[in-house]
Amino acid sequence: MCGIIGYVGSRSAQPILLDGLRILEYRGYDSAGIFIPGSGVCKAVGPIDELVKVCTDTSTGTSGIAHTRWATHGQPTEANAHPHHDMSETLWLVHNGIIENHQEIKEGLRARGVTFYSDTDTEVLVKLIGTFHQGNLRQAVQAALQVVRGAYGLAVMYERDPNTIVAARLGSPLVLGLGNDGNFVSSDPSALLAHTKDVIYLEDGDIAVLTNDSYEIISQRGAPAKRVSTTVDWSVEQVQKDGYPHFMLKETHEAPEVITNTARGRLLPEAGNVKLGGLEPILDRLSNLRRLHVIGCGSAYYAGLVGKYILEEYADLPVEIDLASEYRYKRTYPEKHSAILAISQSGETADTLASLQKAKQQNLLTLGVVNVVGSAIARETHAGVYNHAGPEIAVASTKAFLSQLTVLALIAVLIGRQRGLSRTDGQDIIRAIGDLPNLLRTTLGLEDQIKEIATRYHTYEHMMFIGRKFHTPIAYEGALKVKEVSYIHAEGYAGGELKHGPIALLDADFPVVALAPYDDVFPKMLANIEEVRARQAPTIVITTADAPEMGTLTSDTLVMPQTHPIVQPIVTTLVLQLLAYHIGVARGHNVDRPRNLAKSVTVE
């Protein structure tokens, strides 16, 4: 949540900061602000375009900090927009996270005569730093952070020392960018790619001091901290729209390339096996697992549900899955020969990270499936697999979700071949994964038909998605996508659950999307479709063949390519992503930036 960018160097800071905010806008777009020493602060409510309108003075300052906000404490107003200042109005701070004890600190500061003008916890933090400031900004930040509880990624400047930015991280992502004409700090490396690909990911507890030609990283207690720089392998073009009207559509159309990148160098067709270098050192432990616990939030959780089905069926491995936001608080029973697998696109999801840390404290083997190299979850796990899906800018996950499903299929083969999956079965799966990019291109060719269906159904206010077996979680994900980008009330259910309650909702104004590929549960899905049609609900059937036995059961049928059951959910999901996208666009919404949502959920 929220996006931070800072720059100190020899170039004009304002265009660098505004361009960076545009890239970070997916992290929040309730309000935005910028501070440049010597030019002051500029704030606006709404997206970055609103900030550009009011920042009419062209500043020549060569340093500054900026912020785009996803509101947690306080409404989206100009007063609550970042940056915030201390009592002297010489210290300015931008912050991503939540200060849990802000009310307690606020009351103490008020007793000392400190006044407040906003409803934010961030203002409390900068006012606290101000009480410690006696000329050394780093020491003031260090002292204040000993007092606060919660999560933060922050950048702070002192107006009278414009050549220095102090940054700190605890629980919220922050990355330094090392450039030839200055240094940067950002919530996400994507905002830095136009200037540098050399980055350093700060770790929890780090405090960094940036100048135009140097940087220093220390712990909260002042001890030097050595961090290794990383070269980001994304390109500037990957975070631009390339002519597409929305990032969501661009990223959906990148599906074939993403699957190619996810599988590249990992398929061993002759052996019917895969090579996952990140898991090779612990392969013996994986083959002897008695249970795997999978955790995730949102779409990552639904990917984990698909993973549960395929790991149990093809790897003969019992799997339990939990929402990470619940796992961290519930009582758990660590078992010998068990492991926990965390799934997160950003690698910074706060609840998932906290659950992972809990598992480590219980001496469980920790594994990760993440997309961002160097992210907190990647560093926290014993072993894992990178998605290599590239940056995902639209808030609603598309290509990252498809990549997660692919990685889970690869893991199922890797573990399965150690636990009894035959070479022939392995070869069938590997062949299907290898063919997947071409099948996805064929699926993208259905877009005009999908758009026509979306046009017919975009005026409804309710939708239901049903599926069975591997496609039950895909029904959940399909409903989530429609909710996210069209604001239609949508629910996902296992087809067999209809008669246990949800069918009471169905009538002529409640369309149902039935996921019915030709598989071993296809006859059961036909029965569910009959139940839906008996209640006069319009029915969209997504299948792999125009089956005559459907007869008049369906209002609309969309035929997608057939493939192996382990990867069929990937093809189906692409159809649902296009359907949700076109419904959202038909309803006039900005599908890249759904209301009330942000991309990386780094607050709890």
pLDDT in tens, 178-226: 999 999 999 888 889 889 999 999 988 999 999 999 999 998 888 999 8
**Range among 345-349, 510-514, 518-522 with highest mean pLDDT value:** 510-514
The encoded tokens of residue 329 equal: 């608080």
Number of other CB atoms surrounding residue 224 within 10 Å: 8
How much is the average pLDDT of 351-373? 91
The pLDDT score that the predictor gives to residue 604 is: 47
How many CB atoms sit inside 10 A of residue 445's CB? 10
| 293 contacts 266 by C-beta, under 8 angstroms | no
270 CB-near residues (< 8 Å, 6+ apart): 427
| DSSP tag of 550 | G
pLDDT tens digits, 213-266: 999 999 888 899 989 888 887 666 666 777 789 999 999 999 999 999 899 889
Instruction: Answer whether the bond into residue 565 is a cis peptide, omega within 30°.
Output: no
Q: pTM value?
A: 0.75
The first and second tokens of residue 80, run together, are 């609550």
- φ/ψ of 247, rounded to 5, equals -60, -35
466, pLDDT greater than 60: yes
Q: How many Å is the Cα radius of gyration of the chain?
A: 25
Q: What are phi and psi of 437, to 5 degrees?
A: -55, -40
Quote the pLDDT of residue 256: 93
Report how far residue 71's alpha carbon sits from residue 184's, in angstroms, rounded to the nearest whole number. 24
Average pLDDT, the chain: 91
Q: Which domains does the chain have, with CATH numbers?
A: 3-234 (3.60.20.10), 247-586 (3.40.50.10490)
Lowest mean pLDDT among 125-139, 388-402, 447-461: 388-402
Label residue 56 by pLDDT band (50, 70, 90): confident
The amino acid at residue 57 is: D
Give CA–CA dist 518/23, Å, rounded: 42
Q: Pick the catalytic residue: 2, 42, 55, 297? A: 2
Residue type, 530: E
Query: 600 falls in which pLDDT band (50, 70, 90)?
Result: low
**pLDDT number for residue 373:** 76
pLDDT of 434 strictly over 50: yes
**Strand 383-386 versus strand 365-370 pairing type:** parallel
Average pLDDT over residues 83-93: 95
Q: Say if CB 210 and CB 6 are below 8 A apart.
A: yes
Question: What distance in Å separates the CA atoms of residue 124 and residue 102, rounded to the nearest whole number?
Answer: 6
- 297 catalytic, yes or no? no
Q: Quickly list DSSP for 294-352.
A: EEE-THHHHHHHHHHHHHHHHS---EEEEEHHHHTTS-----TTEEEEEEESSS--HHH
Distance between CA 302 and CA 401 in Å, rounded? 9
Choosing from 308, 469, 481, 599, which is the catalytic residue?
599
pLDDT at 552: 64
Are residues 167 and 210 in contact, defined by beta-carbon separation less than 8 angstroms? yes
CA atoms in the 13 A half-sphere facing the CB of 366: 23
pLDDT reading at 84 higher than 60: yes
In whole angstroms, give the CA distance from residue 457 to residue 477: 18
Q: Which of 296-305, 329-338, 460-469 has the lowest mean pLDDT?
A: 329-338
Q: Which conformational region is residue 156 in: left (phi greater than 0), alpha (psi within -120 to 50 degrees), or beta?
A: beta
Name the 3-class secondary structure at 576: helix
Which one-letter amino acid corresponds to residue 593? R
Q: Are 392 and 255 in contact (CB under 8 A)?
A: no
**pLDDT at 279 > cutoff 60:** yes
Q: What is the mean pLDDT of residues 580-586?
A: 98
* Residue from 322, 290, 577, 282 nearest 454 by CA: 577
Q: Catalytic residue at 481?
A: no
- Report the pLDDT value the prediction gives residue 237, as an integer from 0 to 100: 62
